[in-house]
Amino acid sequence: MGSVGVQIVCVALGVLGLIGVIVCCAVPRWKVSSFTGSNIVTAQSSQEGLWTTCVVQSTGQQQCKNYDSLLVLPSDVQAARALTIISCMISCLSLLILFCGADFTTCVQNEDAKPKISLVSGVGLLLAGILVIIPVSWSAHNVVRDFNNPLIAAGQKKELGACIFVGWGAGVLLLLAGGLLCCFSRPQSGSSGGTAKYYSNNASAPGKNYV
């Protein structure tokens, strides 16, 4: 079983990764306006997220609007909504499981079961990290592809928003936490329970003699 210090570090990394996924899911900063080429109008800029699109004036005033329909959204946005929410749910569940199976808690009294519980939590954090990296990478690929497309006008091009980088960072933190848990929470190959049972069975039959 891994040390208590490693488990505490994994909990901290998991909590930070979960916060990053929540910020990435809620904040409308996946795509921002690009001011390149002949597009020198800086009086307002647009910001797009998973749930809303916002227009920010040069005076600081911001107006946001929800998307009209789910069916008109691009496929990458629809997938990002589902994957980030699933990642949040798996991260929360994995952290709760980790708290139950950690060495610094007494929720589980069976010491042999704690490594298995921590291992399940590590696998869940790995899965949550992968689920958040996929949508942000997909969205970043589409933004870069459209930015380099000469057929798209300069005023319609977008750049990578802050949520893309936050999502990458959150995914790396979750992967790191899950990897550490999987490495330091391997169940022991041998168990004393079977040996004790073997001797107790032999002791219960004193009348038998073996040559």
pLDDT digits (tens, 9 = 90+) for 68-102: 888 888 999 999 999 999 999 999 999 999 888 88
Query: What is the rounded average pLDDT for all residues in the chain?
Result: 83
- Looking at residue 29, its pLDDT comes to 92
The alpha-carbon radius of gyration of the chain (Å, integer) is: 26
183-210 per-position pLDDT tens digit: 887 665 544 444 444 444 444 444 545 4
Residue 164, classified by CB atoms within 10 Å of its CB into exposed (0-12), middle (13-18) or buried (19+), is: buried
Contact 185, 120 (CB under 8 A): no
117-140 per-position pLDDT tens digit: 889 999 999 999 999 999 999 999
- Looking at residue 189, its pLDDT comes to 55
Dig out the tokens for 157 from the structure: 């091009």
- Which whole number is the average pLDDT over 36-51? 74
Q: Which neighbouring-strand residues pair with 53?
A: 48, 65
Of 198, 130, 201, 138, nearest to 170 by C-alpha is: 130
145-172 per-position pLDDT tens digit: 998 888 887 778 889 999 999 999 999 9
Q: Place 4 in a pLDDT band, splitting at 50, 70 and 90.
A: confident
Of 130, 119, 134, nearest to 180 by C-alpha is: 119
Q: Place 40 in a pLDDT band, splitting at 50, 70 and 90.
A: low
Contact 131, 87 (CB under 8 A): yes
Distance CA 114, CA 109 (A): 8
Separation of first and last alpha carbons in the chain: 41
Distance CA 121, CA 97 (A): 6
**Element at 88 (helix H, strand E):** helix 75-101
